[in-house]
Amino acid sequence: GAVVSQHPSWVICKSGTSVKIECRSLDFQATTMFWYRQFPKQSLMLMATSNEGSKATYEQGVEKDKFLINHASLTLSTLTVTSAHPEDSSFYICSASPGGGGQLTDTQYFGPGTRLTVL
Amino acid sequence: AQTVTQSQPEMSVQEAETVTLSCTYDTSENNYYLFWYKQPPSRQMILVIRQEAYKQQNATENRFSVNFQKAAKSFSLKISDSQLGDTAMYFCAFGADSNYQLIWGAGTKLIIKP
């Protein structure tokens, strides 16, 4: 149980284009989803936290107009990188928490990640 | 503010040996959770083990166990009978906020040698 999928697994795009990454919780409802960015050989950097039906909360330094997050349902969150530039190239990972006050409310389950390369 | 420190950037052991990864944290919270996640070369983050701070008993999951010392704010991971598939980055994480954000350590690269 607690499987999170992420699509696409890798994407190459031209500078100036937009890219959408989907994150789905397959066997549980995710009250909260998180988007991370990971640079090579580094830890995870939280970009934003999203709760279903409300606006995402962005971490300091993350441009909300550039990284659009939509958490439209309890099983789907999307991250859109708008007007992508080479410096946006990175590994993006989503995670989801069941919420609901159960024992594993606080546990984050991760998607497999998306490698974005902007040319 | 909470912090998580992993002081071992890299470790390597022979297959079948036991290895302990260290993690310390700093917090003023009383109720919190601690996690160890594994990230193999595939980069998929996998939950290894979870510990609630209010529980005195150390969590165990098969070959994985923790030594949770609340007063010392220490949360080490012990891997027994290590296997080649245990080769990965291991991240220690702390959670206490109501929005379930995690504070992450820098990670320890563990290499299991045949």
Backbone angles phi, psi at B84, to 5 degrees: -55, -35
Nearest to A81 by CA among A72, A32, A90, A113: A90
Residues of A in contact with B95 (CB under 8 A): 106
Pair of tokens at residue B52: 């609630």
Pair of tokens at residue B67: 């030594």
B100: left (phi over 0), alpha (psi -120 to 50) or beta: left
- Residue A38, min C-alpha distance to chain B (Å): 10
Beta carbons of B95 and A113 less than 8 Å apart: no
Residues of B in contact with A109 (CB under 8 A): 47
Predicted local confidence at residue B19, as pLDDT:
98
Residues of A in contact with B110 (CB under 8 A): none
A43-76: per-residue pLDDT in tens?
999 999 988 888 899 999 999 999 999 988 999 9
A97-101, B19-23, B92-96: least confidently modelled range: A97-101
Across the strands, what pairs with B10? B109
Q: Assign A88 to helix, strand or coil.
A: helix
Q: Assign B86 to helix, strand or coil.
A: helix
